[in-house]
Chains A and B, each alone.
Chain A
């Protein structure tokens, strides 16, 4: 044997280097696993945890009887991750897929192969039968998937869209009540954290943490779906007959201030793409101010009676169709001659109304209008409301005294006007109009219950009765005889205002108005209808009054109000 020398063995101690290296490894492990443990733990949790958003339904909107007006339901949407798409399979399935999705194959291909994108929507809110047809494709093609999304469904379609508004694809209110009460209606999202593997598959059933989502609050409106339908049918008949820019209407309960129907046509059809700056979504009965014209006269008449400045049977000389007031001449459409004050309303004499205005004076007129709520918001929960125009007293001229009583120099919105008519109908009380009856938490507990709110009394009962008689006369023998009903006594006032066109009153562009209530002896409903630029006819008594009368008739029958004995003269 050849022995190994002492020198060789000493050199073999090089093996200790291995032990030293192992010690270095231990030190390095101590650094990673003890000193930097927290840091790596955070990194690990970040990649191991998958946050799954949990969503709940937006609150339901229903009418006063609980009939659904707007509701959210879960649908599926098709999306694609272009990073995972298999090109060969995509080309193979492109044509049938495009056919199912009703898309151009080229366009679809570009979406599915968009470079750098990892999430592209292909089609949102897929119907159930289409989903069934698509499912085999989804399984055959990597990168495609369904995602559940909420879809808002409106049961009344265009009938209510200007009031209810719409929600966006992400269930945010964009217009109408959906926008105004978005905070009440919207759900509170939740989140679930689960463990996942590197391919983002969930690996444990039990979540690491979970915050449950909360359903939005349910809204019950004062609207009555049936009355809304009646109103909309009449409005659409008006639209067909007179082809106006738009026709709007409101039905209100004069005893509580509840709004039972509120509509404007033409309106946005829910589900259609929103075009032209949300035009069909504008709540024109709130957002558009108009000159009330003759519909203003009953209030002036009431104020004169209330102040003791005149009696209904008092005779007034209204001349032969034209009369000079200060620096200008006021005309009547039909010369009246000498008539009673009541007939000034019934025949809608501008000259008579101007004389009533002179009796009151500017100060009283202004406080009357303020008390009636003109120039102030109604606070209905619909965005876009206009206050109308009621100029401050100091800006009024001597012309105002005679202009205001015939509804010029002032602009109001329909809800203001209907509320003021409700005051005539209910014995002189100005009420807060309202649209939301109650709000319920997702747990079922009530969050809000509305109650009638009266601001002030404007007219005494006696005055109201006298004004009402005049308004009945309008329908029975005055300007609105076409609004006469076989079933109920209708009280109301017509109005035909000339639109302002280029700074001057237009002779061609009118707004036809009718505002009234029934039954006259014990009013249950106030109705107001405006028709903007009707073609072929212009008078409120011709265009708007019959429609309002039909709405009143149907709605009162629907409400079970027994038809009255017809008063004398019919």
Chain B
């Protein structure tokens, strides 16, 4: 094969990410169809959820395509501060004007559309933080001019999201930003020492949220609190466990018959486990794993610190959500309101997950063509043809 036929590695990675996103979306669409197969009234009918999800999938894919194909990377970098500022304003706005659901203000509601600003703000903030780190990369060793501003910027959106309260997303964003700072070169000690100092007050504040304490208790013993907070997780475990290695067959599970609340939403992974078994769960995990693997390749080839930290941050945000969601369902983590990206039912989550993958693919496309690898790694990347 001649070198002329060889696609640039970056393009290949971008195509991989696109293919993975589409497969995950398709998987998610069918699982939403499955999980909402039974409904108590016409409004909740399966076709309603699936149709709504499909339209959001299409909108999200359009955004993905637009970002990947049309948006020059320097524009992203240039627009990042404005986007982040807009995101912070949205976060402030939702605290003041948002719709209160179950004691939390996380949503804007426009007629039949509802929108969770933290979904957008997280991505915008990660992009801006990447640019900020790149611009200050020479100062990152200095405590007053590097570390303190970085810490301040890390805490600002975290506190706003935590105020909603949405502790799951706040913690996820905080640790993603920590990771980005670390990747950009902030010393580990400069990150760990403030972190350790913050820990006691944070724990103290957390324990004042009763629902957080309930969730921790439910996490420690999900079967002991059937009917309460632990009920959901216990039902998820029953769904997963009774599915077994091969599952009961698509649509054959019974846990979606109102045993498992939020079956199409935060707990869709349990429905996958019940109907498709360990096989289906492994498929989802491998799909997320491939996305992370592609991100690893992007990071290896990243030509600049912005690309590196931004792709690192976006990947951690995306995969972190998936991991937290699956860990909650398998009772490895206390119950958080975090959806399974691209699979769970939900509009803004799907849209912004696809948007962040779009930015990731855009970064991949901009990678320098076919650069030899450092550390003598095997050149798997240059194999011909797309992975999927």
A residues contacting B by CB (< 8 A) are 1-9, 11-16, 18-19, 21-22, 24-26, 28-30, 32-34, 36-37, 39-41, 43-45, 47-48, 195-199, 203
Contacts and interface: CB of A to CB of B under 8 A. Distances in A.
B373 to A, nearest CB: 11
Contacts of B254: 44, 48, 195, 197, 203
Contact of A33 (B241, B300, B319): B241
B184 A41 contact: no
A25 B332 contact: yes
B296 interface: yes
Interface in B258-296: 258-259, 273, 277-278, 281-282, 285, 288-289, 292-293, 295-296
25 contacts: A4-B304, A4-B307, A8-B184, A8-B305, A8-B308, A11-B182, A12-B302, A13-B299, A15-B292, A15-B316, A16-B296, A21-B323, A22-B288, A22-B319, A29-B330, A37-B241, A39-B241, A40-B241, A41-B242, A43-B241, A44-B239, A45-B242, A197-B254, A197-B258, A197-B259
Nearest to A49: B254
B308 to A, nearest CB: 4
A33 B243 contact: yes
B137 A2 contact: yes
* Centre residue among B38, B242, B295, B319 by max chain A CB count within 10 A: B242
B327 interface: yes
A19 B255 CA distance: 29
A33 B244 CA distance: 4
A33 B304 CA distance: 44
B312 interface: yes
Given A26-B285, A28-B332, A4 B240 contact: no
Nearest to A16: B296
Contacts of A25: 285, 323, 326-327, 330, 332
A22 B325 CA distance: 11
Interface in B202-261: 237-245, 254-255, 257-259
In the A-B complex, the 6 residue pairs with the closest CB atoms: A40-B241, A197-B257, A44-B242, A198-B258, A12-B299, A37-B244
Contacts of B107: none
A40 B237 contact: yes
A2 B239 CA distance: 50
Contacts of B179: 14
A46 to B, nearest CB: 9
Interface in B158-202: 179, 182-185
A370 B291 CA distance: 102
Contacts of A40: 237-238, 240-242
Contacts of A7: 185
Nearest to A42: B242
A43 B231 CA distance: 13
A200 B254 CA distance: 12
A19 B302 CA distance: 20
A1 B320 CA distance: 29
A28 to B, nearest CB: 5
Contact of A29 (B183, B259, B281, B374): B281
A3 B304 contact: yes
Contacts of B282: 26, 29
Contacts of A21: 323, 327
A5 B302 CA distance: 10
Contacts of B281: 26, 29, 33
Contacts of A44: 238-239, 241-242, 254-255
B330 A28 contact: yes
* Centre residue among B238, B289, B326, B327 by max chain A CB count within 10 A: B238
B334 to A, nearest CB: 15
Interface residues of B, number: 55
A2 B308 contact: no
A48 B320 CA distance: 34
Interface of B is mostly: helix
Contact of B293 (A9, A19, A196): A19
B64 interface: no
A29 B304 CA distance: 38
Contacts of B327: 21, 25
A176 to B, nearest CB: 48
Given A2-B137, A26-B285, A197 B38 contact: yes
A2 B330 contact: no
B211 to A, nearest CB: 23
A468 B278 CA distance: 94
Contact of B315 (A2, A8, A18, A41): A18
Given A39-B241, A43-B238, A197-B38, 4 more contacts: A5-B185, A11-B183, A29-B278, A198-B259
Contacts, number: 153
Nearest to B253: A44
A519 B240 CA distance: 85
A195 B255 CA distance: 11
A508 to B, nearest CB: 72
B183 A33 contact: no
Contacts of B257: 48, 196-198, 203
Nearest to A45: B242
A178 to B, nearest CB: 43
A19 B292 contact: yes
Contacts of B303: 1, 3-4
A44 B255 CA distance: 8
A273 B374 CA distance: 96
Contacts of B304: 1-4
Nearest to B277: A33
B316 A18 contact: yes
B306 interface: yes
Interface string B346-360: 000000000000000
B34 interface: no
A55 to B, nearest CB: 27
A14 B183 contact: yes
Nearest to A199: B258
* Centre residue among A15, A33, A36 by max chain B CB count within 10 A: A33
B246 to A, nearest CB: 9
B15 interface: no
Contacts of A37: 241-242, 244-245
Contacts of B277: 33
Contacts of B244: 33-34, 37, 41
B134 interface: yes
Contact of B240 (A1, A2, A32, A203): A32
A4 B296 contact: no
A545 B253 CA distance: 79
B214 to A, nearest CB: 21
Given A4-B305, A15-B295, A18-B323, A33 B240 contact: yes
A197 B256 CA distance: 8
A420 to B, nearest CB: 70
A41 B258 CA distance: 17
B101 to A, nearest CB: 22
Given A1-B304, A25-B285, A48-B254, A34 B245 contact: yes
A7 to B, nearest CB: 7
Given A33-B281, A44-B238, A15 B330 contact: no
Contacts of B307: 4
Interface in B75-123: none
B278 A33 contact: yes
Contacts of A41: 241-242, 244
A124 B259 CA distance: 33
A6 B305 CA distance: 11
A15 B296 contact: yes
A32 B183 contact: no
A40 B270 CA distance: 13
Interface in B319-368: 319-320, 323, 326-327, 330, 332
A42 B273 CA distance: 16
Nearest to B183: A11
A12 B363 CA distance: 15
